[in-house]
């Protein structure tokens, strides 16, 4: 279970992992020890088979509040290409009632154009509030409605940074937070100038 890019910690502090073994793993949070360290045990680890339509998983994002799972990876129709090993995958599928009787709600065909310059794929993804945020290697952030899967738009680097971003190049490279006033703060790693891009967006 060690290594790999597909790690996610949900709101109940359970750890989800996709990747090398071609399975989905869940380590349940077991509280804190006397020193205040979180407790996880391989003996309590759950293993899930890769659900249809996937043959390989690269990311798993679980929302424990409404038992919703977002899985991203590859299928027989769009198989894994080892030249693009950092990418999240091609389709994103939302499953409702994940812990009881998983049901597919929708599938999103994610951006994938390896011939374009710059490359147009997705390298990171997160879910916050009403939206799914997915980032390209060059920093463009695609925003999808989490209920319907419809793409809302694309957030791009602005004039403040010369309308350009360096390469996005770490596993958990995009995060988001919804403020009490409805505004979203979206943070994206930027691997050229050693900084984080922060976007402010109010739907």
Main-chain dihedrals φ then ψ at residue 42, nearest 5 degrees? -60, -30
Quote the pLDDT of residue 3: 65
Quote the pLDDT of residue 170: 87
Q: What is the pLDDT of residues 38-49, one digit of tens each?
A: 999 999 899 999
Checking phi first, is residue 163 left (phi over 0); if not, alpha (psi -120 to 50) or beta? Answer: left
Among positive and negative, which fits the CA dihedral 142, 178, 15, 93? negative
Assess whether pLDDT exceeds 80 at residue 105.
Answer: yes
What's the CATH class of domain 52-201?
mainly beta
Q: What is the mean pLDDT of residues 61-68?
A: 96
Relative to beta strand 141-145, strand 131-135 is antiparallel
Q: What is the Cα–Cα distance from 152 to 1, expressed in whole angstroms?
A: 35
Q: What is the Cα–Cα distance from 200 to 138, expressed in whole angstroms?
A: 18
Domain ranges in the chain are 52-201
Q: What is the pLDDT of residues 107-149, one digit of tens each?
A: 999 999 999 998 999 999 999 999 999 999 999 999 999 999 9
Residue 74 C-alpha from the chain's centroid: 14
Main-chain dihedrals φ then ψ at residue 47, nearest 5 degrees? -120, 130
Q: What is the Cα–Cα distance from 145 to 118, expressed in whole angstroms?
A: 26
Task: Work out the mean pLDDT of the chain and round it to a whole number.
Answer: 93
Q: Which residue has the tokens 């971003």?
A: 165
- 7 DSSP β-pair partners: 17
Quote the pLDDT of residue 19: 77
Quote the pLDDT of residue 1: 56
Assess whether pLDDT exceeds 90 at residue 5.
Answer: no
Neighbours of 82 (CB within 10 A): 5
The reported pTM is 0.94
């Amino acid at each position: 279970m060690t290594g790999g890019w597909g790690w996610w910690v949900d709101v109940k502090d359970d750890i989800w992992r996709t990747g090398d073994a071609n399975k989905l793993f869940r380590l349940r949070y077991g509280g804190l020890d006397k020193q205040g360290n979180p407790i996880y045990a391989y003996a309590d680890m759950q293993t899930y088979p890769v659900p249809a339509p996937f043959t390989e998983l690269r990311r798993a994002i679980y929302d424990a509040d409404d038992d919703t799972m977002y899985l991203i990876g590859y299928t027989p129709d769009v198989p894994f290409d080892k030249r693009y090993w950092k990418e999240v995958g091609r389709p994103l599928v939302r499953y409702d009632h994940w812990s009881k009787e998983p049901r597919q709600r929708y599938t999103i065909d994610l951006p994938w154009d390896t011939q374009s310059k710059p490359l147009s794929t997705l390298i990171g993804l997160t879910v916050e509030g009403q939206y799914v945020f997915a980032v390209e290697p060059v920093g463009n952030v695609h925003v999808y409605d989490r209920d319907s899967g419809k793409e809302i738009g694309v957030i791009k680097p602005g004039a403040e940074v010369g309308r350009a971003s360096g390469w996005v190049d770490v596993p958990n490279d995009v995060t988001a937070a919804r403020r009490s006033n409805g505004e979203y703060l979206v943070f994206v790693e930027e691997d050229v100038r050693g900084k984080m891009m922060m976007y402010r967006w109010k739907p």
